[in-house]
């Protein structure tokens, strides 16, 4: 699946998107897999209350299942307007 990062999450991880091969069944499991990779991921995912997640471009939450999902995006709380 495609995993996208925005704002400071993108800066911490060092790239805007990547293709991830995963057997994670929920967002939480995917986060654990990513955080275990390297320090920069661990840092980006160290406080989930400071993060939001969108699945296929709709806001979702960390308990959500990943079945059928093609695009996951992680970002900080939005600051539009």
Partner 1 sequence: MDVRVQTEDFDLGEVASSFSTGLDNAGAVVTFTGIVRDADAGDMLAMEIEHYPGMTQKALETITAEAIARWSLANALVIHRHGRLEPGAQIMMVATAARHRKDAFEAAEFLMDFLKSRAPFWKKEILKDGNADWVAAKDTDEQALKRW
Q: List residues near partner 1 by CB under 8 A.
A: 4, 6-8, 54, 57-59, 71, 73, 75-81
> What tokens does 31 get?
């986060």
* Rounded least distance, CB 8 to partner 1, Å: 5
Question: For residues 17 and 36, which CB has a smaller minimum distance to partner 1 in the complex?
Answer: 17
Question: For residues 6 and 62, which CB has a smaller minimum distance to partner 1 in the complex?
Answer: 6
* Rounded least distance, CB 64 to partner 1, Å: 16
What b/e string do you get for 44-81 counting C-beta neighbours within 10 Å, with b at 16 or more?
A: bbeeeeebbbebeeeebebeeebeeeeebbbbeeeeee
């Amino acid at each position: 699946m495609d995993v996208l990062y925005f704002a400071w999450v993108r800066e911490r991880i060092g790239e805007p998107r990547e293709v991830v091969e995963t057997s994670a069944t929920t967002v939480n499991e995917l986060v654990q897999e990513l955080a275990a990779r390297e320090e920069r991921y661990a840092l980006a995912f160290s406080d989930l209350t400071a993060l939001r997640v969108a699945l296929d471009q709709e806001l979702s939450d960390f308990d959500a299942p990943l079945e059928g999902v093609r695009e996951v995006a992680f970002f900080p709380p939005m600051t539009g307007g």
